[in-house]
């Protein structure tokens, strides 16, 4: 029977979350859409609530009907503070979102530089290929704007060993996409010989 824990987490109501947990609410209670409180907290970037839920044993790997979970959400929001809380629960980095991607892919697309820098220090697969046939590097080039944030993300990915030779389903590499879109700084980075 639902206690309202997920809704309280979504609202950012820490006292209500703590009260419900103390009253015996299941920390992994799910709403009809399958969402858990810790995923709702991650979506709202309610770090204090996620901290309380994780301390109470929340399973950060549980996915909702949209295949979101706490870790995958952080790639969309770009919240490094939330990522750090989720990492305390030893998340499964192989779980994927509805596009078949891991958290570094949406983060790279959206220009979340600090998040990409932080998640590169984990066991995330930087060359993971999603359902569209794209890696984080490809998404940063194809869906990015070629501006400073995406340039920095491409630099970080390359320094971390991202495979620049992985092409999309049409056989087009990140370098070829960068040339096609006129992203000169990205072209320069992608042309550099790896050391």
Given a cut of 90, is residue 136 above it in pLDDT?
A: yes
Q: Is the dihedral of CA 157, 162, 165, 167 positive or negative?
A: negative
What is the arithmetic mean of pLDDT over 99-121? 98
Angle among Cα 132, 189, 97 to the nearest 5 degrees reads: 25
Q: Mean pLDDT for the chain?
A: 96
Q: Which domains does the chain have, with CATH numbers?
A: 1-92 (1.25.40.20), 100-195 (1.25.40.20)
Query: How confident is the model at residue 195, as a pLDDT?
Result: 58
Q: State residue 12's pLDDT score.
A: 97
CA nearest neighbour of 174 among 164, 188, 161: 164
What pLDDT, in 10s, does the model give residues 56-99?
Answer: 999 999 999 999 999 999 999 999 999 999 999 999 999 999 99
Q: Which residue would you say has higher pLDDT here, 2 or 64?
A: 64
**Integer Cα distance of 3 and 129 in angstroms:** 39
Which pLDDT band holds residue 20 (cuts at 50, 70, 90)?
Answer: very high
124 vs 7: CA distance, rounded Å: 30
Cα 39 from Cα 62, distance rounded (Å)? 8
Residue 42's nearest CA partner among 109, 113, 97 is: 97
Rounded CA-CA distance 132/155 in Å is 23
Q: pTM of the prediction?
A: 0.94
């Amino acid at each position: 029977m639902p206690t309202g824990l997920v809704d309280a987490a979504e609202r950012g109501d820490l006292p209500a979350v703590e009260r419900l947990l103390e009253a015996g609410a299941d920390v992994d209670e799910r709403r009809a859409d399958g969402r858990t409180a810790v995923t709702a907290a991650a979506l709202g970037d309610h770090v204090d609530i996620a901290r309380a839920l994780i301390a109470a044993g929340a399973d950060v790997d549980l996915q909702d009907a949209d295949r979101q979970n706490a870790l995958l959400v952080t790639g969309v929001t770009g919240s490094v503070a939330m990522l750090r809380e989720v990492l305390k629960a030893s998340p499964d980095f192989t779980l994927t979102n509805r596009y078949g991607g891991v958290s570094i892919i949406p983060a790279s697309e959206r220009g979340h530089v600090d998040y990409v820098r932080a998640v590169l220090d984990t066991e995330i697969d930087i060359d993971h290929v999603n359902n569209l046939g794209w890696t984080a590097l490809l998404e940063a080039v194809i869906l990015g704007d070629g501006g400073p944030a995406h340039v920095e993300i491409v630099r970080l990915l390359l320094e971390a060993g991202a495979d620049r030779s992985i092409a999309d389903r049409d056989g087009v590499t990140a370098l070829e996409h960068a040339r096609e879109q006129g992203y000169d700084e990205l072209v320069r980075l992608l042309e550099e010989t790896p050391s």
